[in-house]
Amino acid sequence: MQSLRLIALIALVVALGVPTSARGDGGGSSRPKAVSPKHADPQYTAAVRAIQASKFAQAIPLLEQVVARDQSNADAYNWLAYATRRNGDPAKSIGIYQQALMIDPKHRGAHEYIGEAYLALNDLSNAKQHLATLDKLCFFPCSEYSDLKKAIQEFERNGVATKPSAGR
């Protein structure tokens, strides 16, 4: 009994001790929240700000330059794919999200967003696969899982993917 309490306490401390902006998963909502200190690259910062302002076309070349310089930056690939998808090309975004997931298979933001891209392409099966992955990655409920689950439910009800909200 004592060891179960200790495990629960450790899990709680870990869960509460990792702020959203430090997770390195691209923020996990339909919009980025902030630029983490590890991304001090001015082009990365400018791209995230452009995405926050819904200027997706402006963000794409900036992020292409970032990933050209740093091909191990899963967050930059995630945001490049996000901007590409939101700029109207979900099919092209799939390969870019896959690159982010090759670098970081546990990248929750990329799993959520690639699931949304699959829904935009009417591919419910692949979207559900990423939801299942998020279910395994999220020890406690996480926004990435909840957001993708909600999008899948909406798709199943209406036969169309929900558009990300402009305020997020």
Determine the Cα–Cα distance for residues 83 and 59; give it in Å rounded to an integer. 7
The answer to whether residue 16 scores a pLDDT higher than 60 is: no
Q: Where residue 130 sits, what CATH number does that domain have?
A: 1.25.40.10
- Where is mean pLDDT largest: 31-40, 80-89, 136-145? 80-89
99 — pLDDT class (breaks 50, 70, 90): very high
Supply the range of the domain harboring residue 37.
2-158
Q: Which residue has the tokens 């799939």?
A: 94
Is 164 within the bounds of a domain?
Answer: no
Please tell me the pTM assigned to this model: 0.76
- Whether 166 is in a domain gets the answer no
Check: CB of residue 138 under 8 Å from CB of residue 108. Answer: yes
The reply to whether 165 falls in a domain is no
Residue 96 resides in a domain: yes
Q: Is residue 163 part of a domain?
A: no
What's the structural domain count of the chain? 1
Instruction: Answer yes or no: is 109 within a domain.
Output: yes
Q: Which two tokens stand for residue 21?
A: 């902006």
Q: Does any domain span residue 154?
A: yes
In a domain? residue 168: no
